[in-house]
Amino acid sequence: MRPIQAAFPATRFRRNRRTDALRRLTQENTLSVNDLIWPVFVRAGEGIEEPVASMPGVFRRSVDLIARAAVEAEAMGIPAICVFPYTDQSLRSEDCAEAWNPDNLSNRAIRAIKRAAPGIAVMTDVALDPYSTHGQDGLMQGGTVLNDETLEALVKMTLAQADAGADIIGPSDMMDGRIGAMRSALEGAGHKDVAIMSYSAKYASAFYGPFRDAVGASANLKGDKKTYQMNPANGDEALRLVARDLAEGADMVMVKPGMPYLDICRRVKEEFRVPTYAYQVSGEYAMIEAAAQNGWIDGDRAMVESLLAFKRAGCDGILTYYAPRIAPLL
């Protein structure tokens, strides 16, 4: 039903905008620290914090400094931290066996975070691109990314992360059937309380470039990921993917990237009414930061505005590299 309102001048929308107090009273959406998931990059070594050139203000940290960052995040009230590894090239292989090594970078980081900041939830990434020699998210044969064979590898990776103490598994691979396979494996291994946040609607996007630099996958990537990631022209397909993942046992769903797909966020939330998240990906972050550093936009205002857009679109939370920067403001 369309709202009823009197004609001008009986209705003046500017009345509710006149003062800060009135604007706050009539604000429809609110951004909170509880909405934040902080993606972090872990690398080998000790006492190391190196900048990611294409993501100003973002760093690869060694495990000890990741744990320290988690303590700081917990103190700021950030509820979750998501771990992505920068795997040494010597540990990458065609079979991606390092992905389920109990002592790989991700699993060491999970354990370190849980020891240092037990109150913060640890989310992981489940995909093979940080561990492969070809940069694809699955196993390959003759130039083709294999679906069913990849599922076996992803399940082993999932169980290793759950054993390490992960609270939320984040499958970003986009293989068909992976949520059902992971949920069944987690239940069978006694990890019934480990949640799955599925990258259900993950698009084959141009906005991932800086992230691939951060995890060291850019130079390895052969070809593209269009055979398994979504066509940016499709919207209805996203709803079918979300429905499938929920039916297979996903607890939460994600749309990735975020800002170019706010319409998908809104459609998912309205259709399913489940916990819905968006990933403000590296390219989105890098664009805002590059423009801010050149003095073309107000970086802090653009940061807040961009994050509020996700809330307006219906998201329950956002994965954002801005988490530690905006948390104190909130």
Residues with catalytic roles: 202, 256
- Cβ–Cβ < 8 Å for 230, 257: no
* Residue 89 contacts residue 44 (beta carbons within 8 Å): no
Pairing of β 49-51 and β 59-62: antiparallel
Q: Are 51 and 113 within 8 A, CB to CB?
A: no
Strand pairing partners for 279? Answer: 319
What is the C-alpha separation between 3 and 7, in angstroms, rounded?
12
Closest C-alpha among 86, 76, 162, 150 to residue 124? 162
Which DSSP string do the residues of 60-122 spell out, in sequence order?
Answer: EEEHHHHHHHHHHHHHHT--EEEEEE---GGG-BSS-GGGG-TTSHHHHHHHHHHHH-TTSEE
CA-based nearest residue to 124, from 196, 191, 59: 196
Task: Name the percent of the chain in helix, strand, coil, to the closest 5.
Answer: 45, 20, 40
